[in-house]
Structure 1
Amino acid sequence: MCGIFGYILHRIPCTTRDVLNVLLDSLQRMEYRGYDSAGLCVDDVKSKKHIVVRSVGNISKLRERVFSGCADLDFNAQLENHEGIAHTRWATHGPPSEANCHPQASNNMEFVVVHNGIITNFMTIKQMLLEEGYHFSSDTDTEVIVVLAEHIFSKDHSISFADLAGKVMAELDGAYALLIKSVHFPGELIACKEASPLVIGLQNGKSNGTASGIANGSVMNKLFFSSDVASFLPYTQEVIFLEDGDVAHYSKGALTLYNDATPVSRTSQTVDVSPEGLCKGAYPSFMLKEIYEQPESVSRSMRDRIDFNTREVTIKEMSDGVRTTLLSARRLMLVACGTSFHSCVAARPIFEELLPNISITLENAPDLLDREPRIGSDDVCVFVSQSGETADTLMALQYCKKYEAMIVGLTNVPGSSVLRLSDFALLLNAGVEVGVASTKAYTSQVVVLTLLALFLSKENCSGNSSHSHGGSQSPIQKRRLEIIDGLAALPGALSHCLKCTNDVATKLAEELCDAKAILILGRGYDYATALEAALKVKELTYIHTEGIHCGELKHGPLALVDEHSTIVAFCPHDKFLGRSKSAIQQIKARGGRVVAITTEPDAELVSATSRCVEVPAIVDCLQGIVNVVPLQLLAHHLAVRRGLNVDCPRNLAKSVTVQ
């Protein structure tokens, strides 16, 4: 949720202004993660003291505070070496205020830290330090880190920075990524990771780092430390992902990594992420851009995984051994939170149809953690997370891993924790998604889960080969081919849907701008669509919106319907159409206004609804991917009409890295 950033220069001439601009620009590239305040710390060239600048609000306010209100800094001072840190905060302990912003400093400004995560035992540490005579200036759990560091250093001035960091980590419980500076260790920086993402960007005097690895003590000209690769993409794509327990110690050009006080080596890798994804281009918002990218993003998700000429699905990343284990599983569990959970709801019936011999279950990650159900070594647990860093999903993953279940990870972020902790992992390849409200990642999640089900179900086919268009086919084989043909048609259907529904969504946004509540109904394959559409509307518009299974209407929600009610109903021409029409008639009888999303606006639907929105038809189990598009557009346009920030809804974060 928070974003941390560190920028190190070694023997590279620049000015203080240059350093500040890199810090501020990099924070702006993490704005999509969500935040309520921000701050940074650089060193004054003359006094060698830490200069901390903090501000409540957006990065623009921090930038103004830095360049207009910081008389202590000489912006044109010439530097060759520097270590700067910066932070975007999302309040967890203490309200948004300047005192609670990061960086947090120790009592005498001897140590300064930026922190992402939660220290669960901070009250115990704080009480101990209060008894030792220290004081605290904030409500945060973060402040105890640097006050503790100051306390430990006061007992032993000969301790090294790396050893000091190890002693601090030994006292902390919880999840954290830390960057620590100290006046006692000029030219040095400490980075610590425990259950919270932290990555190092490498640039050795080139536009992009290209080393295949890094040895301890390697001299680097530029280093970037961050909770998010996106923050430093314009500078380098060569990275090291730190592991839990790692301490990275930078000292005067040399980088050394430790784990449990023992030097370790971590291999660097090149992340295949385009910096262009961080630009809105001609679009007014990232979300609208990402909605319109969906024809291309689902195509990227399928690229090199499906051949539409031969109608073959191939997942090259999966070994025969992994495939055998998956197919011999007693149970396949789909585990996720939020939008990712909805993608699992959408994919579950496809797995059930194509893999009838495996029990398919669905788990909300926080609920799984609360219940602690029995997990066995014959279970396969599929964890879906856009960011790959969702705290509840990662904790559920660790729980299942403890009981030796096979772990499969699906995420959109290369090098993320879900990918690294999985026995087998698949990237969505949807491209960078910046908008907090997920759109293209959702549709790509459904597509990749569908590809996984298709690939695993090959052995369930008998009769002709997969490219057969006729002759003797098993029911599963026939169904597989229908779905493959549906995937082939999907990008075109999405493109057509975007063209034909945007104007309707704009008009609907005008009509619903003052709505107090919206109900969204779906059933069958569109139950997931109703859940996801409702989430998009409530996330962006702050209108109470509920996604309901049509069959549940009579079991309570119908009491909400009157002449002031607005209901959106998904009514594709599938086997559930009759029952969906029945639900609409019940709403109409009570004066409710219904907007139908349908593949064929027949006379009965037209007469029973106030508006029919026609969408292109594809195979029934993938129809929801198309049907969700007009609701994504509606959510966007409604938020714009209500004067709201589309890309950064209040109280929400893109990457939920704390429980």
Structure 2
Amino acid sequence: MCGIVAYVGEREAAPVIIKGLKRLEYRGYDSAGIALAKNGELNVYKKQGKVADLENFAAGEDLGGNIGIGHTRWATHGEPNDVNAHPHTDSTSSLAMIHNGIIENYDSLKKDLLGKGHIFKSETDSEVFLHFIEDIRNREGCSLVEAVRLALSKVVGAYAIVLMDKDNPGQLIAARKGSPLVIGVGENEFFLASDATPIVEYTNEVVYLNDQEIAVINDGELNIRNIEDIPLTPYIQTLDMELEAIEKGGFEHFMLKEIFEQPKSIADCMRGRLKAETGHLVLGGIREYAHKLDKAERIIIVACGTSWHAGLVAEYIFEDWCRIPVEVEYASEFRYRNPIINEGDIVIAISQSGETADTLAAIELAKSKGAIIFGVCNVVGSSIARLTHEGAYTHAGPEIGVASTKAFTAQLTVLGMMALKLGLRRGTLKESKFHELLVELESIPAKVEKALKSDSLIKKISEKFKDSKNFLYLGRGYNFPVALEGALKLKEISYIHAEGYPAAEMKHGPIALIDEEMPVVFIATQDSSYEKIVSNIQEVKARKGKVIAIVTEGDEIIPQMADYTIEVPATTEELMPLVSVIPLQLLSYHIAVMRDCNVDQPRNLAKSVTVE
């Protein structure tokens, strides 16, 4: 959740690190800091607030040096303030360290270190971690690298760390377990970061550090070893990312840019995989274990947040097309309730970042029980991509806005292709139906493009409801998860309380909330539940609720009943969530902007939730 940036090379480190921290602002944070080594001195600057606050605070200070580490913190242990911000230093202010993650046994370590005379400035587990490394180095009389290795074998929890020593100004030491860390390899220089966005401007060659690996950069050389001290050969990969992809490209916010990118991102998901004209559908990442999927008696989907909503839609799709029972689980609950997992069960793990801590924990539990794990994620080289048996990338491109938009539709596209292929292989989808659905799926980007043309209308509707205190979102069947997703988007970025419900459940409680002040958003496209949802709209209107209805283009019934209607192009019931979610994303966006909310970085939220 926090952001790490570090540099060593021939450039001035501070500008590289500050720019990199700004690239990581989308991850969410409440303070920032930087440490630089120069002429045997260690200069540390830390400030609560944004990276801009850190820049202002450090203006006029000595920011020289060719080696440094920087950090954006999302508070876990200790409130957000200057002291708790990273980097932290050891007792002699010789070492500086940045840390993402949580050290679960920090309390017992701290008590032991206090007994040895250590004095702590902050309330953080990270400072305890660094003092523990310092204590080992002093006690064992070993090198800093060896002290890090020994410390890592004793700490419990998750970490990505980078250390520097003012007495060794050419060396950076990094390690990870459960929190991402990528190393950019340049010419006589190295860049370290939580993801590739701060690196892509300088090099496209990277090394993704694996769990329980330690990287040592010293005098222009990169060496990697594992926690057992066994040397490893760095595996250098080429980044498939362009600098333009992480810029706003003329849009006011990243979120708006990413909403409007969806015709392209959905098409990119299908590119090279689907060609309706010839009946071609291939998922290259799902081959070796495809026969296991064919014989599956149960599918379990684990995910969090927006990805969980995509999983709910996938539950309907897999059961309809493949006739396999599907369970959709919150990854955060899955590992704690002693779930029944049988050998040969299929688990599909969904995550935009591929680093979601709860989802990774669910994967590890399911693997230990003999399940086959398929991953659906966006970030190449991420932890989920490496931990799963097989899977598919969404190829949606970087998503910078904290509130997921194009990730949702990209995940649905991949899951839909998986279900189509499986339904055909299992014989539960007739070939004629398979081809019909391929044609329709291939047409979705154009239909999303058309749905986006309602933007100006949605902006006018948003003006009417920007001051509302509560919203209710209702849908049936495939559109019920869309109602949940619409409510989540509004909560995340506008801070308006919103609930998503199955429309039929409205009478079992939420109807008590409806009055002339309550906006009710119906996802009411023409499908098998259409007549039922018309009745639900009448029930809301009878209680003077304000109805905003998402309807299929050409609908003549609901527009006569609703206060506001937004049309979307027609598609099959199974694929409608790819289209019906678009107006809900735009509605949330415009309301948030009108309420002067920080759309791309909503309060208290982080893009990649890498701690429990």
TM-score relative to the length of structure 1: 0.91
**CA distance in structure 1 between the partners assigned to 2:118 and 2:492 by the alignment:** 42
Report the alpha carbon displacement of residue 570 of structure 1 after superposing the two structures with TM.
0.8
In structure 1, the partner of 2:275 is 307
Deviations 1:222-257 (A, max 9, x none): 111111111111111211111111111122222221
**CA distance in structure 2 between the partners assigned to 1:93 and 1:292 by the alignment:** 38
Deviations 1:34-65 (A, max 9, x none): 111100100133xx111001111111121222
Deviations 1:302-359 (A, max 9, x none): 001111211221123332x411111112211111110001111112111112211x32
Structure 1 unaligned residues grouped into runs of 5+: 206-220, 462-473
**CA distance in structure 2 between the partners assigned to 1:235 and 1:194 by the alignment:** 26
In structure 1, the partner of 2:338 is 372
Asked if 2 retains the 8 angstrom alpha-carbon contact of 1:118 and 1:176, the reply is yes
> What secondary structure does 1:107 align onto?
coil
In structure 2, the partner of 1:487 is 441
Asked if 2 retains the 8 angstrom alpha-carbon contact of 1:111 and 1:149, the reply is no
In structure 2, the partner of 1:99 is 83
Report matched runs for 1:251-650 at 5 Å. 251-259=218-226, 260-319=228-287, 321-356=288-323, 358-461=324-427, 476-499=430-453, 501-600=454-553, 602-650=555-603
**CA distance in structure 2 between the partners assigned to 1:278 and 1:480 by the alignment:** 36
State which of 95, 102, 123 in structure 2 corresponds to 1:139.
123
Asked if 2 retains the 8 angstrom alpha-carbon contact of 1:601 and 1:612, the reply is no
Asked if 1 retains the 8 angstrom alpha-carbon contact of 2:550 and 2:566, the reply is yes
Asked if 2 retains the 8 angstrom alpha-carbon contact of 1:377 and 1:405, the reply is yes
Report the alpha carbon displacement of residue 603 of structure 1 after superposing the two structures with TM.
4.5
State which of 18, 27, 38 in structure 2 corresponds to 1:24.
18
The question of 1:90 aligning with 2:57 is answered no
Asked if 1 retains the 8 angstrom alpha-carbon contact of 2:8 and 2:170, the reply is no
Q: How has the CA–CA distance of structure 1 residues 586 and 149 changed in structure 2, closer, same or farther, with 3 Å as cutoff?
A: same
State which of 125, 141, 163 in structure 2 corresponds to 1:180.
163
Asked if 1 retains the 8 angstrom alpha-carbon contact of 2:424 and 2:430, the reply is no
Paired amino acid for 2:348: V
- Which of 1 and 2 has greater Rg? 1
Q: Bigger shift: 392-401 or 260-269?
A: 260-269
**CA distance in structure 2 between the partners assigned to 1:610 and 1:183 by the alignment:** 66
**CA distance in structure 2 between the partners assigned to 1:413 and 1:291 by the alignment:** 18
> What secondary structure does 2:336 align onto?
helix
In structure 2, the partner of 1:114 is 98
Report the alpha carbon displacement of residue 475 of structure 1 after superposing the two structures with TM.
6.0
Structure 2 unaligned residues grouped into runs of 5+: none
In structure 2, the partner of 1:233 is 200
Deviations 1:160-206 (A, max 9, x none): 12111112212211000001112344422210111111111111x2x
Report the alpha carbon displacement of residue 600 of structure 1 after superposing the two structures with TM.
4.2
Q: How has the CA–CA distance of structure 1 residues 276 and 602 changed in structure 2, closer, same or farther, with 3 Å as cutoff?
A: closer
Paired amino acid for 1:654: K
Asked if 1 retains the 8 angstrom alpha-carbon contact of 2:137 and 2:143, the reply is no
State which of 105, 119, 126 in structure 1 corresponds to 2:110.
126
**CA distance in structure 2 between the partners assigned to 1:109 and 1:442 by the alignment:** 46
Give the alignment's Cα RMSD to 1 decimal. Answer: 1.4
**CA distance in structure 1 between the partners assigned to 2:34 and 2:360 by the alignment:** 29
Report the alpha carbon displacement of residue 85 of structure 1 after superposing the two structures with TM.
0.5
State which of 25, 31, 36 in structure 2 corresponds to 1:37.
31
In structure 2, the partner of 1:4 is 4
Report the alpha carbon displacement of residue 436 of structure 1 after superposing the two structures with TM.
0.3
Q: Bigger shift: 564-573 or 347-356?
A: 347-356
In structure 2, the partner of 1:57 is 49
**CA distance in structure 2 between the partners assigned to 1:552 and 1:361 by the alignment:** 20
**CA distance in structure 1 between the partners assigned to 2:362 and 2:570 by the alignment:** 37
Q: Bigger shift: 250-259 or 418-427?
A: 250-259
Report the alpha carbon displacement of residue 155 of structure 1 after superposing the two structures with TM.
2.1
Asked if 2 retains the 8 angstrom alpha-carbon contact of 1:353 and 1:476, the reply is no
**CA distance in structure 2 between the partners assigned to 1:344 and 1:607 by the alignment:** 34
> What secondary structure does 2:96 align onto?
strand
Paired amino acid for 1:116: N
> What secondary structure does 1:296 align onto?
helix
Q: How has the CA–CA distance of structure 1 residues 302 and 222 changed in structure 2, closer, same or farther, with 3 Å as cutoff?
A: same
Q: How has the CA–CA distance of structure 1 residues 602 and 240 changed in structure 2, closer, same or farther, with 3 Å as cutoff?
A: closer
Report the alpha carbon displacement of residue 608 of structure 1 after superposing the two structures with TM.
2.0
Asked if 2 retains the 8 angstrom alpha-carbon contact of 1:354 and 1:476, the reply is no
State which of 144, 150, 154 in structure 1 corresponds to 2:134.
150
> What secondary structure does 2:474 align onto?
strand
Deviations 1:605-658 (A, max 9, x none): 223211111111111111111111111111111111000111000000100000
Deviations 1:559-600 (A, max 9, x none): 111121110001111110111011111111111111111004
TM-score relative to the length of structure 2: 0.97
**CA distance in structure 1 between the partners assigned to 2:483 and 2:197 by the alignment:** 31
**CA distance in structure 2 between the partners assigned to 1:603 and 1:247 by the alignment:** 64
Q: How has the CA–CA distance of structure 1 residues 475 and 395 changed in structure 2, closer, same or farther, with 3 Å as cutoff?
A: closer
**CA distance in structure 2 between the partners assigned to 1:264 and 1:603 by the alignment:** 66
* Paired residue total: 611
> What secondary structure does 1:620 align onto?
coil
**CA distance in structure 2 between the partners assigned to 1:300 and 1:639 by the alignment:** 29
Report the alpha carbon displacement of residue 74 of structure 1 after superposing the two structures with TM.
6.5
Asked if 2 retains the 8 angstrom alpha-carbon contact of 1:354 and 1:480, the reply is no
Asked if 2 retains the 8 angstrom alpha-carbon contact of 1:274 and 1:432, the reply is no
**CA distance in structure 2 between the partners assigned to 1:455 and 1:398 by the alignment:** 27
**CA distance in structure 1 between the partners assigned to 2:388 and 2:328 by the alignment:** 18
Asked if 1 retains the 8 angstrom alpha-carbon contact of 2:26 and 2:402, the reply is yes
**CA distance in structure 2 between the partners assigned to 1:236 and 1:74 by the alignment:** 23
> What secondary structure does 2:374 align onto?
strand
Asked if 2 retains the 8 angstrom alpha-carbon contact of 1:33 and 1:655, the reply is yes
In structure 2, the partner of 1:215 is none
**CA distance in structure 1 between the partners assigned to 2:178 and 2:269 by the alignment:** 28
